[in-house]
Structures are given as structure tokens and as C-alpha cells.
Amino acid sequence: MTRELRFQAEVLQASPECPFLSFVIEVPSELVTEVSEAMKRAALPPFCIEPIPPMPDVYRARLDQPLVGAVQRFLLALESDAERGVLAPLYLREIVYRLLRSEQRVRLLASAASVSQSNAITAAMAFMKLELHRPLSIRDLAEAVSMSESVFAHMFKAVTGMAPLQFLQQLRMEHARTLLLSGSTVSEAAARVGYTSLSHFSCVFKRHVGVLPRLYARQLRDGQDQPGAMSS
């Protein structure tokens, strides 16, 4: 699958004598990259320069005998604690190798690259949340995930649909709302989400929420002062 989607399949042929067997395996994107790089170094036939065909949400391919053998060895290794820890990773690596020699190699490489990009963006988002209390630039965010500013900005927007600083501003305002809800003053909320100028914070907050932060805080207090407004 190319995305985290739910899907439904129908088994058309199966019987006790000839059962339908299936399993799901999640392959780390790092392993795909590692094996593909090893194949390049070994001067195996190039496979990374092919154009990527249109990728449906779900696709299938036949298993050849070498791949079936690797899968069987992997599944058998799971039955033993010792083999699960020692042999199963080797067989998983072989499965990746076999897939990279198959017709699905381009899709597998594209999927691994997409996951790696998403992981970098997830790391950038986590960094933003940790550093909301201080000003951040595109350079700060890009350096946090070891990327160039231009590549980071392009990749972030491709994954989230928003520019990095636009996303950061949204995080700041949502956190500011939470702080005001928990009883912080407007000045405290502004400082804790990285704003040194109270007027600038108020302007951005109003653009995001629709009202000035002081009015928002007053509305919260008025609502809590009403009989029956709070329950525990």
C-alpha cells in the first residue's frame, strides 16, 4: 500500500485442502535504503534510474520461488526466540533484496523515500513543539533535521500542505489558547509561545482565533463564572 488506508479484499478461492494464506510485514525504510545502497556498491544491474510509474493505493505482484523461500525462512525463524533475534533480521534483509530485484523495486524505493521524508518532517514538528518558547527561523528548523533550507521548506509543504513558519505559527496559537484556558495571563502566554512583542502576539492571535487574546481570556473567565459552567 502507498498510504495508510484501510482496504477490503475478497478471497475468491480457498478450501481446507488448499487454504488461502496471507501475512502483513512492515519493512523499515532505512533497511530498504541500506540494501539498495549495498546493491549499488556490488555493481548489480541499476534499478534506481527507472521512471516511477503511477502508484495506485494498493498493488500486487506474483511471488517467485526465491522470494517465497526467503519468506518461509523468515516465518519459521519467528517460532524460536533465538532465531527471531538472530536469523529473522537476516531473512528480512533477504526479502528486501529479493523485492528490489523484482518488478516492484521502483515502487518500494519510492515508498521508502516517502517514509524517510515524512520521518524528517515529523522530527521537525517535534522540534517545533519543544522550542515554541523561542523565536525560530527556517534555518533553525532545517538544521535541526540536517537539511538545506530550500529542500526542507519544499519537503515540509509537500507533506503538510503548509509552509514551515505558517505551521509553526499555528502551533503557537493553539498552544497559546491552551495556556489561556489553563489560567495563564496574556503576557505569560505570549512569552511561552516565543513572542517578545505583546502587540504582535495579539495581532497574530486575533487573525488565528478571531478575537484578541484579552477578550478571549475574559470570555473564558465569564463562562467559568456562570452557574453550572464548570463541573468536576
Residues of the chain with pLDDT under 50: 1-5, 46-51, 225-232
CATH code, domain carrying 209: 1.10.10.60
Residue 19 lies in a domain: no
Give CA–CA dist 189/165, Å, rounded.
19
- Cα–Cα distances in Å, from 121 out to 5, 64, 134, 147, 158? 20, 36, 20, 11, 10
Give CA–CA dist 117/119, Å, rounded.
5
Task: Collect all residues with Cβ–Cβ distance below 8 Å to 31 and sequence separation of at least 6.
Answer: 92, 93, 96
Sign of the torsion angle spanned by Cα atoms 137, 143, 148, 154: negative
Model confidence over 122-145: pLDDT tens digits?
889 989 999 999 989 999 999 998
How many other CB atoms are there within 10 angstroms of residue 205's CB atom? Answer: 26
Do 83 and 100 sit in the same domain of this protein? yes
**Per-residue pLDDT at 198:** 92
Residue 129 lies in a domain: yes
Task: Collect all residues with Cβ–Cβ distance below 8 Å to 132 and sequence separation of at least 6.
Answer: 171, 172, 175, 192, 193, 194
Do 146 and 126 sit in the same domain of this protein? yes
Residue 5 lies in a domain: no
The pTM score is 0.51
**Per-residue pLDDT at 49:** 43
The one-letter amino acid at 47: F
**Per-residue pLDDT at 44:** 66
Model confidence over 34-44: pLDDT tens digits?
888 888 887 76
- Cα–Cα distances in Å, from 60 out to 56, 63, 75, 174, 190? 10, 10, 20, 42, 52
Residue 20 lies in a domain: no
The one-letter amino acid at 147: M
Sign of the torsion angle spanned by Cα atoms 210, 212, 213, 215: negative
Identify the domain containing residue 156 by its residue range. 114-162
**Per-residue pLDDT at 61:** 73
Q: Check if the beta carbon of residue 212 is closer than 8 Å to that of residue 206.
A: yes
